[in-house]
Structure 1
Amino acid sequence: MQHVSSNAYDEVSPPPESLSKIKPDLRVGFILMDKFTLAPVSGFVESLRFAADQSFRSLQIYCKWDWMTYNNLPVNASCGLSVNPTKDLDLKELKQNYDYIVIAGGLLSETRKPPVYLLETLKEIHAARIPIIALCSGCFVLGNAGLLDGRKCAIHFTTRDEFVGLFPKAVTLIEQTYIEDHGIFTCPGGTAIDLAADLIRVHCGEIRAQKTLDYLLIQQKPLHSQDKEKTTLDNPSTYENNMVSKAIAFMSENLSAHVTLKEVAEHVNTNPRQLNRVFLANTNEAPANYWRRLRLEHARKLLANTSAYITNIAIECGFSDGSHFILWFKKQYGETPFAYRKRRHGVDKLK
């Protein structure tokens, strides 16, 4: 790991009046069960905090998070720390305002029989294709909701036997820091920093992920593709419909090519009308919109992690010209590609 000076990331944050215009790269809603385990929650949120602004002022700019409980009342961590919710648990808000929902468990007495309202809420969130992360015994909550049937899940070795007895349809694994299977993440405990860093890397870029690891004094081990599955926008396994999965894979392989939706439809042996229908049913948006988001997401990664010219990035990501790209990028992310790159490269003193 390359070392940086103590003030390498100490840059000027955007002016207050511009903060509301910046769309966060990563939005996380925490649902805390009573007697939740503090370590994974604190490791996860501290990772977000370091990635959230250019310095260390704890400004929620590029990452945002909120604390919730199923009954909107304060809860205590298993160590006794009291936490007040910052938001009410509202299903509409959960669907609209967050990229991930975290259910943080702890003592089994609180997660063996979670309230029905919470289970129904989690089912709705999953149906809306919002990824759910279970920390510690949060997997028991997801098990009760039926969301782990037929899915791989990471279980703490001390609770594995009970979990298998209660949820025999789940595929349980131990000695895994986390596992993702079709939009469900399970993390058995620890600090959850590696899970948070991987999500930051996907949504915010390598620079911010490394900033988090540097300042949490984490020496990251090399990651091989077979070790972990990452959830990304262009991961076809996110969607169970075979036609949609094949179409997304084809789109991802042709981000810069001038391929029409008719050609995409032909690739998956259907017609544009039917392709539009299955996309709306499985992704809640038209294939043209989804493909544009794929291209914009790829462009955002290139802006954060390379020094390529913006015009070249636009062309590589399938846009007809720089102006067209800038227009859609600002519409999607609330700022221009130049502003996005400048703020994220503001922490990059290593180049």
Structure 2
Amino acid sequence: MDARSVVVVGYAGAELLDIAAITTSLEMANRIGRPDAPYRISVAAPGGRPIACASGLVLRAQLPLTAALGPLDTLVVSGGPGHARAAADPVIVGHVRRLAGQSRRVSSVCTGASLLAAAGLLDGRRATTHWQYADHLAAEYPAVTVDAEPIYIRDGNVSTAAGVTSALDLMLAFIEEDHGAELAREVARALVTYLQRPGDQAQISMFTAAPHAEHDLVRRVAGYIGAHLDGDLTTAALAKVAGVSPRHLTRLFLAHLGHPPGRFVRRARTEAAARLLSTTALPVARVAARCGFGSAESLRQAFVRHYGVPPSEHRAADGRVSPR
């Protein structure tokens, strides 16, 4: 079988890590798996000029956009601070549109979604981008249904990834699709990365989105929640811990976190359960108990609401099998 031709589009101000996550993961698949249809990867840029990346490092392009010709297996548009200028350049956008029409699979990483949107490739589709840029993308391109929650979205043959390291997750999904789950897992292990996050996982979790530092009480209660997930975390119990009334605690959570204590607790428990499902072989019932769910069914319902899939499906995406 012929090689799978992959073109990664870069431009001035592209994010080097976006590009490297794509090229390294696909090249690792070639090295480890020696597939019958290896990836042939090229980085293309306007005029074939060196790409002055956002980090200050300069990356040599392998060919000019004009020389990138189909048919292609996969087109990937990188993101970076230079995305707005690139999306406003009709020449770059025209080449992206042309190459997309010659590609089996089209994708973007991070703010590279703006170039796909400018080319009309996301019209009528659901797409994601970096959470900081999602509102802007939605306002700029109303024909696109922007969802800032998932780390990547696949809508037909067009995929969009949230940003930076989510490029690894999308590439692992591509490798699995092309060459099977075992090679994808081997690549993930070689890269010492998460094995492997499902696309519906949230970009920001309760464990990385810290409460606003200016309010000590909210931060203290949030920390208490994280340390006592299997305890009594009703609003009344938390208010007693904080030394305030339940109504006042709710007002503080709404003001500083955007949602009431109960919702914060449910999300914290669900995300803690997701971590245990991904990193341990504990039975679902024990995961539910550790994270404060009354039963495995309660955990299942929370999972479906938050992630759109049941716990068993989330665990299967990591290559783990629930104990019988």
Unaligned runs of 5+ in 2: 202-324
1:128 aligns with 2:106: no
Paired with 1:114 and 1:131, the residues of 2 have a C-alpha distance of 23
- Structure 2: which amino acid aligns with 1:23? D
Question: Measured at CA, do residues 222 and 153 of structure 1 come closer, stay the same or move farther in structure 2, by a change above 3 Å?
Answer: closer
- The structural deviation recorded for 1:74 is 0.9
Task: Give the secondary-structure state (helix, strand or coil) at the position aligned to 1:71.
Answer: helix
TM-score by length of 2: 0.56
Match of 2:177 among 202, 205, 220: 202
The structure 1 segments of at least 4 consecutive aligned residues displaced by more than 6 Å after TM superposition are: none
Cross-structure match for 1:79: 55
Paired with 2:75 and 2:198, the residues of 1 have a C-alpha distance of 25
Match of 1:90 among 66, 91, 104: 66
Paired with 1:53 and 1:70, the residues of 2 have a C-alpha distance of 29
1:163 aligns with 2:141: no
Question: Measured at CA, do residues 118 and 109 of structure 1 come closer, stay the same or move farther in structure 2, by a change above 3 Å?
Answer: closer
- The structural deviation recorded for 1:121 is 2.1
Match of 1:216 among 178, 186, 191: 191
- Structure 2: which amino acid aligns with 1:203? D
- Structure 1: which amino acid aligns with 2:29? A
**How big is each residue's C-alpha offset from its partner over 1:223-263, in whole Å with a ceiling of 9 and x where there is no partner?**
59xx49xxxxxxxxxxxxxxxxxxxxxxxxxxxxxxxxxxx
- The structural deviation recorded for 1:49 is 1.8
- The structural deviation recorded for 1:100 is 0.6
Paired with 2:28 and 2:124, the residues of 1 have a C-alpha distance of 36
- The structural deviation recorded for 1:46 is 1.4
Paired with 2:65 and 2:97, the residues of 1 have a C-alpha distance of 14
Cross-structure match for 1:68: 44
Cross-structure match for 1:178: 152
**How big is each residue's C-alpha offset from its partner over 1:256-299, in whole Å with a ceiling of 9 and x where there is no partner?**
xxxxxxxxxxxxxxxxxxxxxxxxxxxxxxxxxxxxxxxxxxxx
For the 8 Å contact 1:111–1:141, the answer to whether it is kept is no
Match of 2:12 among 34, 50, 66: 34
**How big is each residue's C-alpha offset from its partner over 1:187-244, in whole Å with a ceiling of 9 and x where there is no partner?**
12131111111111111223321221111112325759xx49xxxxxxxxxxxxxxxx
Query: After superposition, where does 1:274-285 map in structure 2 within 5 Å?
Result: none
Unaligned runs of 5+ in 1: 1-21, 229-351
Question: Measured at CA, do residues 55 and 138 of structure 1 come closer, stay the same or move farther in structure 2, by a change above 3 Å?
Answer: closer
Cross-structure match for 1:319: none
Work out which structure has the larger RCO, using CA pairs closer than 8 Å and 6 or more positions apart in sequence.
1
For the 8 Å contact 2:87–2:93, the answer to whether it is kept is no
1:48 aligns with 2:26: yes
Paired with 1:55 and 1:126, the residues of 2 have a C-alpha distance of 27
Question: Measured at CA, do residues 117 and 221 of structure 1 come closer, stay the same or move farther in structure 2, by a change above 3 Å?
Answer: closer
Query: After superposition, where does 1:321-332 map in structure 2 within 5 Å?
Result: none
TM-score by length of 1: 0.52
Question: Measured at CA, do residues 211 and 221 of structure 1 come closer, stay the same or move farther in structure 2, by a change above 3 Å?
Answer: closer
For the 8 Å contact 1:27–1:64, the answer to whether it is kept is yes
Task: Give the secondary-structure state (helix, strand or coil) at the position aligned to 2:63.
Answer: coil
For the 8 Å contact 1:40–1:190, the answer to whether it is kept is yes
- The structural deviation recorded for 1:140 is 1.0
Paired with 2:117 and 2:96, the residues of 1 have a C-alpha distance of 11
Identity of counterpart residues, as a percentage?
21
Q: Would you say how many aligned residue pairs link Structure 1 and Structure 2?
A: 200
1:106 aligns with 2:70: no
- Structure 2: which amino acid aligns with 1:209? A
- The structural deviation recorded for 1:30 is 0.8
